[in-house]
Structure 1
Amino acid sequence: FTPSPLCDRTFTRIYPEEILTPCFSLTDKIMPPSFSRKLKDCNTVVGNVGEMECKVSGSPPFTVSWYHDGAEIQTGPNYDISFSDNNCTLKVPTLKLLDSGVYKCKAVNKAGSSETSASLVVKEAKTPPSFPKKITSLQQTEGLPVRFECRIAGSSPIEVSWLRDGEPVREGDEFSMTYDDNTAVLQIGSGEMRHSGEYTCVATNSVGSASCRAKLTLQGFVVVDRNLNVVTESPMRTWPDWWPTCRRGWSAQRSGWVHCLWGTLASPQHYLSK
């Protein structure tokens, strides 16, 4: 075309295909961290594996840190820390009582930070009662003290009770019962024939119970002179202050009885137990 005389500029023909469309570069907005799944409180026992987990969202990359009662913890013999697919995981291979406390997970990126926390309570493992040492059956003479004793293991508190032939034994003038230092004791001040029977010790706690049984056999007796004439017959309510030295003895009339000498050398008498 012919330039206008009023214009001294030179025009260049522009073809449509030469017109360029401008390009715009949009920068994505960086989102700060937040926890879409937070830590939860946990109660467990000594020896178990402890695990706490949460999930973070926002713009990566993240820097994730863990804290126990305010002190930062790292992966090592006591802790296993991992981060995968925005899941933050803390594992404790073998829990101990001192692992109890408040755990916190903190996530940081360029736009900010966020954190979540929860409590971990570790308790001693509860075990039901058992009897490392059980009561044993007794066979003895009337008038002597009777003592049943056993040792009990298990988580405290443990409640101990006693039965005789399936019926509860009541503490009183005849029976005394103690439980101290894991040892249970049942005592009868002076055993009588009517005390014979099967005795049961029952131990109970919050996770179970156990029992052990033994028999008490009380024997009658007679006191005879050296000619085996009966002087005193069972029952004897009180035991003499002296205590005779006993040996196995035999006689034509009392074969197999326990033979105990007492009295004076000039006039010995005999205590014979059935």
Structure 2
Amino acid sequence: LRSTAPPVFISRPEPQTVFVGKRAVMQCVLSGSAPLSVVWFKDNQALPTHYQTSCEKNKHTLEITKLEAADRGLYVCKASNNVGTAECSTELRVIDKPNFVEPLGAVAAVVGAPLHLECQVDEDTGVSVTWTRDGRKVHQSPDCKLSFEDKTVTLDILKTTLKDCGNYVCVVTNEAGSASCSTSVKVQGKSCLVNFHGYCRPSIFKYQ
């Protein structure tokens, strides 16, 4: 009599975190008596038609060539023969490009006072942040603090000067893409006007 054995997973696919637009591959290796039936599922549903499955000897592969955000989810591989069944699962996390959920607002600052710019994004995995003012990159310095924590992007100038006015652009980027938002910063400065008595009277004027 020919011996028979139920399907057993020798290796299982690992959880993955992949960016939108990239490629994802899930593989498992099975043992068990032929014929083996192997079926993949996503979130307990049949796979979308653009997914590719293949089998080489006892290695079974699921490939998604160009990931979309909708491809994130729980993937299950089910194997069966006339002796028994087995299954394994893995999580696919798909990271989309960052988007602004709270963009920059219009700001009016006063010379000598702090200037605070803040915006929020919906994704921070692998995200880098770049600030520019009138097309020139803004760098971290003792007078200018740049921060990106808990999906909140901030730019803080300790003491505003007239040269800090201009158009500020914040660009956030990861491997899936980028997004930007901007605001115009107006700075109010103090001037000295001489009245008819000959005294100096402070006055406020604006730069933009």
Normalising by the residue count of structure 1, what TM-score does the alignment of the two structures yield?
0.47
Looking at structure 2, the residues matched to 199 and 226 of structure 1 have their Cα atoms a distance apart, in angstroms, of 37
Q: Which of 169, 177, 192 is residue 161 of structure 2 equivalent to? A: 192
The answer on whether the counterparts of 2:37 and 2:80 sit within 8 Å (CA) in structure 1 is: no
| Identical columns (%) | 18
Q: 1:108 to 1:201 in 2, by over 3 A?
A: same
- Find the residue that maps to 1:124 and give its secondary structure: strand
1:211 is matched with which residue? 180
Q: Per chain length, whose mean CA-contact separation is higher, i.e. which structure has more relative contact order (CA < 8 Å, sep 6+)? A: 2
Aligned Cα root-mean-square deviation (Å): 4.1
**Distance in structure 2 (CA, Å) of the matches to 1:228 and 1:150:** 48
Matches within 5 A, 1:34-183: 57=34, 87-89=37-39, 91-94=41-44, 99=74, 105-108=79-82, 120-183=89-152
Point out the structure with max Rg over C-alpha: 1
Deviation digits for residues 25-66 of structure 1 (CA, Å, limit 9, x no counterpart): xxxxx755689xx99966778xxxx9x9x99746xxxxxxxx
* Number of corresponding residues: 166
CA shift in 2, pair 1:223/1:87, >3 Å? same
The whole-number CA distance in structure 1 between the counterparts of 2:111 and 2:82 is 82
TM-score by length of 2: 0.60
CA drift at 1:120? 4.3
Call closer, same or farther: CA 1:217–1:228 in 2, change over 3 Å.
farther
Gap change, CA 1:187 and 1:155, over 3 Å in 2: closer
Partner residue in 2 for 1:272:
203
* Structure 2: gaps (5+ residues): 18-25, 46-70
8 Å contact from structure 2 (residues 34, 81) kept in 1 = no
Contiguous gaps of at least 5 residues in structure 1: 1-29, 59-85, 232-269
Separation in 2 of the partners of 1:167 and 1:34?
Answer: 68
